[in-house]
Amino acid sequence: MWLRRDLRLRDLPPLSAAASGTDSSVLVCFVLDPRLEESSGERRLAFLFDSLRELDDKLDGKLLVVRGRPEVEIPRLARAVDAERVHISQDFAPFGRRRDEAVTDELGDIPLEATGSPYLVSPGRVTKDDGEPYKVFTPYYRRWRDHGWRKPADSARAAASALDPSDIAKSRRIDIPPAPTTLSMPAGEEAARAKWAEFVDDGLADYASGRNDPAGDSTSRMSAYLKYGNIHPRTLAADLGNGEGAQAFLRELAFRDFYADVLYHWPHSLWHNWNRQFDDIDLDTDKKAYERFEAWKAGRTGYPLVDAGMRQLAETGYMHNRVRMVTASFLVKDLHLPWWWGAEWFLDQLIDGDMASNNHGWQWAAGTGTDAAPYFRVFNPEAQAKKFDPKGEYVRRWVGDIDAEDYPEPIVDHKAEREEALRRFGEI
Ligand code: FAD
């Protein structure tokens, strides 16, 4: 069982599949790929390592962790234990697909067998009648609901067949590295389940309205757990009823699936405009642009809601969804910077940093993606603050006193930059 983005033991179909073979002992392993170690922010690494540590404890020290390229390490381990097959949850992101193709090639006649994925409905499954992928969320969502999904899998018992790796790949085995930074939330399957139970009791019923209240902070906080597969969305969906809050929550899980589906069909959209008509838009990339980018990162734009979001991100590795939209819009429409600058900074800082949700969240804000907000809809950061943080609680929490002497003046004039954004759109 080769774990990747599925760091849990419950509701893990490939683990059940692995344990149900004729020889039911299962080597459970994780390959720490130096390429991912280099490209992941410290917080994501900390979350990963803590999740692995919890899993190892649950498996009584039987999780085998090695460092190296998967296409070298996985075939080596498979041969060392005479594996019949290698079980995985399918990865649909561009890097994961390339990696798994390389591993399949090197495994030769040992099959790489995928059972399930990190999604309720795997990318590629929901299509229009003519087989084409959806480009707009709402019709996708209707079909996604009709498609449906299975009940949570009963896989926890399968963990009992984990093989003791002490005598296998002795020289390759590494200790799980210490977390490179302290996290604002605990990682792992138990923490995910506890947080979810708390949300079902306290937050779900009011989620439809509560989800837009940054100060209330009453969303589920499942994003990082879903990203690392500490919990599967099936487990969440199984607890949802028909209430308004539950239905609103299910719609957000559908957004997660939708963006994974879009990235699957258009892999170029990871770092390039999904809609190539926007490739010619005039962007600022000069020295002044870099100065503005630094002010944005540091939460010193002089727009309190933007600054509060950027400071929440820098301090905790999390930002409320409403504020992610506002800060992203500000970078693109008020500062005229490339959306991928912002996306990269988010990925560096976020604990839940996820290629599909992040980069398509950014493309939505930039108006360059599927289902884009019309280009003429430019978020006004002050109006957004009035509407979604009317008492200024969120801003006070993360910025403090905006009348203080050291709080910066606005670095740009929103009204003028809005006109400028529209002018640049008009040109293309
Ligand atoms: P809840 O409101 O409780 O939502 C439940 C779950 O639904 C989330 O955990 C998430 O898995 C999913 N979800 C909710 N909203 C969205 C959405 N708009 N798109 C996709 N999935 C969604 N989400 C990430 O998981 N990783 C990211 O890197 C990420 N980057 C983003 C960047 C931008 C610019 C924007 C606008 C949104 C981004 N999102 C990202 C989506 C969303 O902001 C977060 O999923 C959400 O804030 C996480 O908090 P929560 O778990 O409490 O959310």
* pLDDT single digits (tens) 120-136: 999 999 999 999 999 99
- In the three-class reduction of DSSP (H, G, I as helix; E, B as strand; rest coil), residue 126 is classed as coil
For residue 375, what pLDDT is reported? 74
* pLDDT single digits (tens) 51-73: 999 999 999 999 999 999 999 99
Gap from CA of 255 to ligand 1 centroid (Å): 8
Gap from CA of 353 to ligand 1 centroid (Å): 9
Share of the chain above pLDDT 70, in %: 99
For residue 373, what pLDDT is reported? 65
Gap from CA of 341 to ligand 1 centroid (Å): 19
What is the radius of gyration, based on Cα positions, of the chain? 23
Name residues contacting ligand 1 (CB within 6 A): 211, 219-223, 226-227, 252-253, 255-256, 259, 321, 324-325, 328, 346, 350, 352-354, 357-358, 361-362, 365
Tell me which residue has its CA closest to atom 10 in ligand 1: 223
* pLDDT single digits (tens) 371-388: 766 777 899 999 999 999
Share of the chain above pLDDT 90, in %: 93
The best mutation among 213, 227, 252, 340 to test binding of ligand 1, ranked by most ligand atoms within 8 Å of the C-beta, falls on 252
pLDDT at 227 over 90: yes
Gap from CA of 95 to ligand 1 centroid (Å): 21
Band the pLDDT of 423: cuts 50, 70, 90: very high
Tell me which residue has its CA closest to atom 52 in ligand 1: 221
Gap from CA of 373 to ligand 1 centroid (Å): 17
Gap from CA of 357 to ligand 1 centroid (Å): 7
pLDDT at 412 over 70: yes
Tell me which residue has its CA closest to atom 45 in ligand 1: 223
* pLDDT single digits (tens) 249-268: 999 999 999 999 999 999 99
Average pLDDT for residues 272-279, to the nearest whole number?
A: 95
DSSP 207-268: HHHHTT-TTT--S---HHHHHTTSS-HHHHHTT--SSHHHHHHHHHHHHHHHHHHHHHH-GG
Average pLDDT for residues 210-223, to the nearest whole number?
A: 96
Average pLDDT for residues 29-48, to the nearest whole number?
A: 96
Tell me which residue has its CA closest to atom 46 in ligand 1: 321
Average pLDDT for residues 326-331, to the nearest whole number?
A: 98
Domain 119-152+190-265 = CATH 2.40.50.100 = no
How far apart are alpha carbons 261 and 240 in whole angstroms?
23
pLDDT at 342 over 70: yes
Average pLDDT for residues 225-238, to the nearest whole number?
A: 98
Q: pTM for this one?
A: 0.97
Gap from CA of 42 to ligand 1 centroid (Å): 20
CATH for 276-427, among 3.40.50.720, 1.10.579.10, 3.20.20.140, 3.40.109.10? 1.10.579.10
The residue extents of the domains of the chain are 2-117, 119-152+190-265, 276-427
For residue 247, what pLDDT is reported? 97
Please name which of 228, 272, 227, 296 lies closest in space to residue 366, comparing C-alpha atoms.
272
How far apart are alpha carbons 89 and 5 in whole angstroms?
8
For residue 104, what pLDDT is reported? 98
Band the pLDDT of 23: cuts 50, 70, 90: low
Tell me which residue has its CA closest to atom 44 in ligand 1: 321
> Is residue 118 a contact partner of residue 256, using CB atoms and an 8 Å limit?
no
* pLDDT single digits (tens) 149-194: 999 999 988 888 889 998 888 888 999 999 999 999 999 999 999 9
Q: What dotted CATH number matches 2-117?
A: 3.40.50.620
Gap from CA of 358 to ligand 1 centroid (Å): 8
The best mutation among 120, 202, 352, 394 to test binding of ligand 1, ranked by most ligand atoms within 8 Å of the C-beta, falls on 352
For residue 377, what pLDDT is reported? 81
Across the beta sheet with 28-32, the strand order is: 2-3, 28-32, 63-67
- In the three-class reduction of DSSP (H, G, I as helix; E, B as strand; rest coil), residue 176 is classed as coil
Share the mean pLDDT of the chain: 95
Gap from CA of 259 to ligand 1 centroid (Å): 11
Angle at 283 between CA 282 and CA 285, to 5 degrees: 135
- For the ranges 5-19, 167-181, 294-308, 380-394, the lowest mean pLDDT is seen at 167-181
For residue 374, what pLDDT is reported? 72
Average pLDDT for residues 336-354, to the nearest whole number?
A: 98
